[in-house]
């Protein structure tokens, strides 16, 4: 199913509904700009907000959520909030403590999704056990991972009681990760894209510009539409109101099969972020 509007949701394998589209806040510092961005997104119909402990901005995100809900006249249940446990806190007790810390900073009673941020060898299984505990206790609606490759997922699932519901990875037309997506689909794990616009590096790509011109859209809108038509949950980051609105205006056109293939063909297995098989943090 292709999302028809900004509030459309995919159903995770545990029955929880997650918006196809949300706002990310990576590298947005604490302060008025951050609060305004989250509030603005909610005002314009966004219902999903993605942050992480390492972003050091959960307090501002929480404030933006509270102010945004009040202004939009919506309840907490209308929003889907994600955070992630950082590498330094991977361990059973430390992950549970990290979850409580994130909740306190956000000022929330629960999270909709909690992710292991990176697959640190020898540490993520204990962290996963903690996520399972939080999930079984009803403290979090869904649990998942981020930056996990196929072999990480296989390794995790060997001992896991509960399969991850989401895998959030770097995903854009230069890094299409088709094998990973197929594996996730087979196992009922929803793929989610971070850095969908490749940190702006794709905006002058001619193939995308040609398609954008046809629909009177921006290259960013074409990329985000491609994500959705590929069945990938997407959380572009922006702090500017016009960009927040523009990013979400992707439900009034549809790429053809041929255009989807042309974009797929831009793949070079090229990463702008760290390699999940070779990082040291």
The catalytic residue positions are 55
Give whole-number Cα distances, 227 to 195, 223, 263, in Å: 11, 6, 10
Q: Is 117 annotated as a binding residue?
A: yes
Handedness of CA 54, 170, 11, 69 (dihedral sign): positive
Tokens standing for 223?
Answer: 């990329």
3-state secondary structure of 82: strand
Closest CA to 119 of 158, 76, 166, 151: 151
Query: In the chain, what are the helix, strand and coil shares in percent, each to the nearest 5?
Result: 45, 15, 40
3-state secondary structure of 80: strand
Q: How far is residue 22's CA from residue 61's CA, in Å, rounded to a whole number?
A: 13
Which residues make up each annotated binding site for substrate? 117
């Amino acid at each position: 199913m292709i999302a028809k509007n900004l509030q459309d949701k995919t159903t995770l394998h545990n029955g929880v509904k997650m918006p196809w589209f949300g706002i990310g806040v990576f590298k947005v510092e604490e302060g008025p700009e951050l609060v305004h961005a989250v509030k603005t997104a909610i005002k314009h119909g966004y219902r999903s907000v993605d942050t992480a402990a390492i972003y050091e901005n959960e307090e501002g995100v929480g404030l933006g959520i509270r102010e945004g809900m009040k202004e939009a006249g919506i309840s907490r249940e209308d929003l889907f909030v994600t955070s992630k446990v950082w590498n330094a806190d991977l361990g059973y007790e430390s992950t549970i403590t990290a979850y409580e810390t994130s909740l306190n900073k956000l000022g929330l009673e629960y999270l909709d999704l909690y992710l292991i941020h990176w697959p640190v060898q020898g540490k993520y299984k204990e962290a996963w056990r903690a996520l399972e505990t939080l999930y079984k206790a009803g403290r979090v609606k869904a649990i998942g991972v981020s930056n996990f490759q196929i072999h990480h997922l296989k390794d995790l699932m060997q001992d896991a009681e509960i399969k991850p519901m989401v895998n959030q990875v770097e995903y854009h037309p230069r890094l299409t990760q088709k094998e990973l997506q197929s594996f996730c689909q087979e196992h009922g794990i929803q793929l989610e894209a971070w850095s969908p616009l490749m940190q702006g590096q794709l905006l002058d790509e001619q193939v995308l510009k040609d398609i954008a011109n046809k629909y009177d859209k921006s290259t960013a809108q074409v990329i985000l539409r491609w994500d959705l038509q590929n069945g990938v949950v997407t959380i572009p980051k922006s702090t500017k109101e016009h960009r927040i609105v523009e990013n979400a205006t992707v439900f009034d056109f549809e790429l053809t099969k041929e255009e989807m293939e042309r974009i797929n063909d831009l793949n070079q297995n090229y990463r702008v972020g760290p390699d999940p098989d070779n990082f040291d943090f």
